[in-house]
């Protein structure tokens, strides 16, 4: 399986051990209004959503399944997403039409989950706006789209694989 780390972080700003060196970089939705504007945040968030959809489209996948799920009650209430979140459970299929809303909730720290389709495809999320994607195909076209969008894609094994 091919595996990548997709981030907004330029790999040139990493040290020899892979740690990101720019301490002024925003890393979370809670940074909106502090170190990043809402407009800039939403632009980057949409790039992450578009990346997942592009991979799914290239692989002709229309549904992913929730594998592992955590819900954060305070954020669910604060962002008024109780109805959507109440319909999520481990094993639930998420259609490509529902992916955008789900990914936004993950990136905004409302929920955390892993999305997978057997041994064909996965999307995992880490702290600080790190996203890990694995696919049974190399998805050259999508990798080019990700790079041209301004995100960075690096070969990397997800630390969330079981």
Alpha carbon distance 18, 154 (integer Å) = 12
* pLDDT for residue 23: 81
Distances (CA, A) of 66 to 37, 117, 155, 157: 31, 9, 24, 19
Do the beta carbons of residue 55 and residue 66 sit within 8 Å? no
Q: What's the pLDDT tens digit per position in 93-119?
A: 999 999 999 999 999 999 999 999 999
pLDDT of 60 reads 97
- CA–CA dist 122, 56 (Å, integer): 10
> Tell me, what DSSP letter sits at residue 25?
S
**Full-prediction pTM beyond 0.85?**
yes
Residues of the chain with pLDDT under 70: none
Q: Tell me the C-alpha distance between 125 and 160, whole Å.
A: 8
Q: How many CA atoms lie within 13 A of 8 on its CB side?
A: 19
Domain spans, the chain: 2-155
């Amino acid at each position: 399986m091919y595996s990548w780390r997709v981030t907004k972080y330029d790999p040139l700003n990493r040290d020899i051990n892979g740690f990101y060196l720019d301490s002024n970089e925003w890393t979370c939705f809670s940074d909106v209004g502090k170190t990043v504007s809402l407009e800039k945040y939403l632009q980057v968030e949409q790039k992450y959503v578009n990346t997942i959809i592009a991979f799914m489209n290239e692989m002709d996948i229309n549904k992913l399944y929730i594998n592992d799920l955590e819900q954060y009650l305070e954020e669910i209430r604060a962002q008024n997403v109780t109805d959507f979140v109440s319909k999520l459970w481990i094993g639930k299929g998420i259609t490509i039409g529902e992916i955008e809303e789900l990914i936004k909730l993950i990136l905004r720290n409302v929920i955390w989950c892993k999305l997978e389709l057997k041994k064909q495809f996965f999307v995992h999320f880490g702290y600080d706006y790190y996203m890990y994607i694995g696919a049974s195909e190399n998805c050259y076209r999508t990798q080019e789209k990700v790079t041209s969008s301004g995100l960075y894609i690096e070969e990397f094994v997800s630390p969330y694989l079981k």
